[in-house]
Amino acid sequence: MTAGSGDAGVGALLRQPGFAHLLAYRITAMLSYQIVAVTVGWHIYEITRNPFSLGLVGLAEVLPYFCVAPFAGYLVDHLPRRRLGMAASLGLVATAAILCAVALGALPFQGVWPIYLAIALTGMVRAFLSPVYNALFARVLARGQYARGAGFGSVVFQAGMVLGPALGGVLVGWGGKALAYAVAAAMAALAMAALALLRVHEAPPPQTRAPIFASIAEGARFVLSTPVMLGAMALDMFSVLLGGVVAMLPAFIQEILHYGPEGLGILRAAPALGSVCVGLWLARHPLHRNAGRVLLYAVAGFGLCVIGFGLSRSFWLSAAILLFYGAFDGVSVVVRSTILQLATPDEMRGRVSSINGIFISSSNELGAFYAGTMARLLGLVPAVVVGGCAVLGVAGLTAWRNPTLRRLNLRDLQ
């Protein structure tokens, strides 16, 4: 491990070459993914004019992700993590290249199904991205730096979510979908280069390897037997699954707010900008006391923002609401990430991170499918408002049923 013990400041974290390279990998991979996400949403809706088709984008990604994620965690715990991350980044390059060919009409196939196939490939390779990051995170920082490191890592992650959608929207509006996909491929290549330059002492592989399914089950048992970790994951999963509005933004932009692709980029970036602000604050002022209570209040605020967005008819008011929506979500991201790093043994980081990723993908991609289905049944606005009310119910139920999470102080895990 390259860092000393103790709670170093943000400047000390950034002066560590290993951490800097790891952050470069994270932001460039996220930029690639987000540029593709915003461009695909516009691409699909431009062809179909059907909100349900936007929900199918999430389903096309999450099903392959679920199939690959448990095995990805096992591989991250047993193989060189840096090389696995490079291979996953190469997969992002391939996905963006396929979509670019579709946009240019260079493939002998027409319709939306080649786009869905490319998104399925994205789901498969994305299963490796977060486990690789989380496992390498623990090798470049000391334990006492995890809280600050998680906060700053969240800032970088959310910065990619700010810049990626905004850049994607601008590229689509200025140069077209093919240009946006080409830039996404270049960003993924930079992520691969960042890992190639990373010098880190990785944990040696285990001397004896348990059977793969027994090893995966061991990681699942660890999560299920840790109430604080399980509660934080479940809270995030259900709140974003029921209250996610991002997948419906192309429909809101065109049907409710009447803006072009640049407006879609702004709205996609607004939540991440709010998360960046929160991440910067928490990186400088780590949340140690009353973390569980703050987390529950943040989820309730998230639900109120979902309701407000559904009722808004003003583009800039909607953007402002999404800014706070992202800020509340950012609290959840930082607290959950810190719990994950502090409570997980090093030899299980890949498997536990994959399980965490399954929870997150359940909330994001299945949430996109849920939102598309509800929009088709109830209409755009009622679906979003009902989802926001459901999030408030989830926050209240979690506070009642999981007192361990409600009383959580992060110092108790150190």
Both 372 and 313 in one domain: the answer is: yes
Both 191 and 216 in one domain: the answer is: no
What are the Cα distances from residue 328, in Å, to 74, 223, 288, 323? 32, 24, 17, 9
Residue at 69 is within a domain:
yes
Both 327 and 267 in one domain: the answer is: yes
Both 160 and 270 in one domain: the answer is: no
What are the Cα distances from residue 177, in Å, to 30, 159, 183, 261? 18, 22, 10, 11
CATH number for 176: 1.20.1250.20
* Residue 70 structure tokens: 């448990």
Q: What stretch of H or E contains 303?
A: helix 291-311
Point out the domain boundary residue: 197, 231, 265: 197
Q: Is 285 exposed, middle or buried (0-12, 13-18, 19+ CB in 10 A)?
A: exposed
Both 139 and 254 in one domain: the answer is: no
Both 258 and 381 in one domain: the answer is: yes
Both 286 and 263 in one domain: the answer is: yes
Both 263 and 119 in one domain: the answer is: no
Both 180 and 251 in one domain: the answer is: no
Residue at 320 is within a domain:
yes
Instruction: Note the helical H segments in 1-145.
Output: 10-14, 17-48, 51-78, 81-104, 113-140
Point out the domain boundary residue: 173, 197, 221: 197
Cα 192 to chain centroid distance, Å, stands at 19
| Residue whose entry in the numeric block shows the structure tokens 């800014």 | 323
Residue at 236 is within a domain:
yes
Both 106 and 229 in one domain: the answer is: no
Residue at 122 is within a domain:
yes
The DSSP string of 157-208 is HHHHHHHHHHHHHHHHHHH-HHHHHHHHHHHHHHHHHHHHH----PPPPPSS
Both 21 and 161 in one domain: the answer is: yes
* Spatial contact of 167 and 31, defined as CB atoms under 8 Å apart: yes
What is the predicted pLDDT for the residue at 391?
Answer: 92
* Spatial contact of 215 and 77, defined as CB atoms under 8 Å apart: yes
Instruction: Tell me the residue range of the domain where 315 lies.
Output: 212-413
Residue at 3 is within a domain:
no
The DSSP string of 229-277 is HHHHHHHHHHHHHHH--GGGHHHIIIIII---HHHHHHHHHHHHHHHHH
What is the predicted pLDDT for the residue at 7?
Answer: 47
Side chain identity at residue 222, one-letter code? F
Both 182 and 222 in one domain: the answer is: no
> What single-letter DSSP state applies at residue 345?
-
> What single-letter DSSP state applies at residue 407?
T
Q: What is the count of structural domains for the chain?
A: 2
* Spatial contact of 120 and 63, defined as CB atoms under 8 Å apart: yes
Interacting residues of 106 by C-beta distance below 8 A, sequence separation 6+: none
Interacting residues of 404 by C-beta distance below 8 A, sequence separation 6+: 227, 228, 231, 292
Residue at 393 is within a domain:
yes
* Spatial contact of 143 and 414, defined as CB atoms under 8 Å apart: yes
| Cα angle for residues 103, 108, 113 (degrees, 5° grid) | 65
Nearest C-alpha neighbor of 150 from the set 288, 31, 271: 288
* Spatial contact of 143 and 411, defined as CB atoms under 8 Å apart: no
What is the predicted pLDDT for the residue at 373?
Answer: 82
pLDDT in tens, the chain (414 residues): 444 444 455 666 666 678 888 888 999 998 998 899 888 888 887 777 776 777 777 778 878 888 888 888 888 888 888 889 999 999 999 999 999 988 888 777 777 888 888 899 998 998 898 889 888 887 777 666 776 777 777 778 777 777 887 788 888 888 888 899 999 999 999 999 999 988 777 666 565 566 777 877 887 888 888 888 888 888 888 887 888 787 788 888 888 888 877 788 788 778 878 888 887 888 777 777 788 888 899 999 999 999 999 999 899 999 999 999 989 988 888 888 788 877 787 778 878 888 887 777 666 667 777 887 888 888 888 989 999 999 999 999 988 888 888 887 776 665
Instruction: Supply the mean pLDDT for the chain.
Output: 82
Q: Is 218 exposed, middle or buried (0-12, 13-18, 19+ CB in 10 A)?
A: middle
Residue at 202 is within a domain:
no
Residue at 133 is within a domain:
yes
Is the entire prediction scored with pTM above 0.75? no
What are the Cα distances from residue 249, in Å, to 36, 130, 162, 355, 393? 15, 25, 15, 28, 24
Point out the domain boundary residue: 197, 224, 247: 197
